[in-house]
Structure 1
Amino acid sequence: MNGYRTADFHCDVLWKLLDNPELSFADDETNKLDVTLPRLRHARALLQTFAIYIPERMEKTVVPILHSIDLFHRKIVAAPGMRFVRGPEDMRIARENGEIGALLSLEGADGLQGDLALLRVLFELGLRAVGLTWNNANWGADGAMEPRGGGLTGKGRSFVEECNKLGILLDVSHLSQQSFWDMADVTKRPLIASHSNTQTICSHPRNLCDDQVRAIIAMDGLIGLTYVPQFVRADGKAGVDDVLRHVEHICGLGGANHLMLGSDFDGIDNHVVGLSHPGEVYNLYDSLVKRYSDEQVKAIFAENTYRFLTTYLPN
């Protein structure tokens, strides 16, 4: 890919490691992981964000979150060539040294139960991005699949304000429409959608409507193109060209400098044809370079993310 680096803002490797601690990120001989160290090297990754996701069957406390952070430190950050990203300088060093940055996020804050002290502890342990909900409702907000479509609770608003104070990035990908607009109203810092596409191209509740896309652009946020087949194309039979339709639409709304990658690898059972793991990201590159300039493709692949993180991560 002619020296291009890649940055991906969402994968669920930690969930699989939590479910099966015997799996190896550094050398997965079982082929049960999409994202592995060799595949990230093959993709010339500059950054991979690793999401903590606690499945419904586990307890809604901080305990499995802490177990996930332990796995992040022991199995991801400790792998050769990985650099733990907590601030802008870590991103700069990763680029200079040819390392792969590892950023820690939380997908669904159910286990914190609105306790801001726990949020502050997780920040000290390296948490740098958080999505308040998964698909359902919790103590802080309604998620994208919650039928009542409510917004932030009082605790949710306090949570957003505390994230702003700490410098934790706020991720809207799983929020209901009302929760999104409530969060946009409360936050003083840009929002990201780590793994969401556009409803205009594929009408799914997990995707963003055009007004949401415009709002994220206006606040200097980022939107992560995701490879979840049913978020790419309504019938789920998606190929790389279907992903490009979302790129074209967001760029048409003025979002060329606000696009990034947010694969959702390891959080999906089915894949976009030609995008089943990081080692296949060259297929997306090959399609993009036929339609966009080198500068635009570099921006989508890593440069928009690098600029954002070196600007908005806490020092």
Structure 2
Amino acid sequence: MTNTFALIGAAGYIAPRHMKAIKETGNHLIAALDPNDSVGIIDSYFPQARFFTEFERFDRHIDKLRRRGDRIDFVSICSPNYLHDAHCRFALRSDAHAICEKPLVLNPWNIDGLREIESQTGRKIYSILQLRLHPSIIALKEKIAANPNKIFDVDLSYITSRGKWYHVSWKGADDKSGGIATNIGVHFYDMLSFIFGPLQKNQMHIRTGERAAGYLEFKQARVRWFLSVDQSDLPEQVKGKQPTYRSITVDGDEIEFSGGFTDLHTDSYKHILEGGGFDLDDAQTSIELVSTIRNLKITPHLGERHPFADKHL
């Protein structure tokens, strides 16, 4: 069965992965919206898609299709984080399901409102939690589950270099992006809770516009974590060679999950279209965690620190 899609946030960094996923699952993008018209990437996937720079005209077009019996089946949401809640509501009011980029919302209480509108409309909201589908992560989850009484020591490091533009854009505004931990880290926190169970302790060591670091305890893990958008934080062995460093070690062993990372959106779409997908309940834990991180008192000398954090304290 072929499904029809609309996409909000077509000019964004992540939008091409959604376009590719729609194409590779044999579906059609009918309409796209973005206030920025730098969206030539659409030609690589759906050159016949209608494009709008004004929400009002996009809304009118989607409503016209619905009223004549050609409603959109799904709305893919790649807009700035603080607009996800409103755009999910728009999708459901348009009689479509929503597929929303991470983070689903910025605050846990927003999920309660989305549950209400799901109930009222009979439509669903799916969150992109792509790491849950990565073969290496699934294998790790199985390994941890086979050792239910063991507590593992985990180091999470993610440094993705961003230029000065980052802090001028919506991504640099905490009230729009949720801050570093939310914007670049929420899917990692989801992965950690997915593998290691319920969160039991949360301590914050660093929280600035460029980086964040802290300590988490889950049912089966002690986690030191460090996130940064500052290239000066890249380890010496990768400086000048690559702009991004991603590492997860479990009891000192590196978990390799870089391979296939960019294909996980297509896997996520397949999962949804086959009757699976991750719903509001699945997204709730990581949204609660990043909301706490955003407001937690900074205690730099409490708990175990990630080695990358030491030079900033």
Answer 1 or 2: which has greater strand percent. 2
Q: Scaled by the length of structure 1, what TM-score is found?
A: 0.32
Q: Scaled by the length of structure 2, what TM-score is found?
A: 0.32
Greater radius of gyration (CA): 2
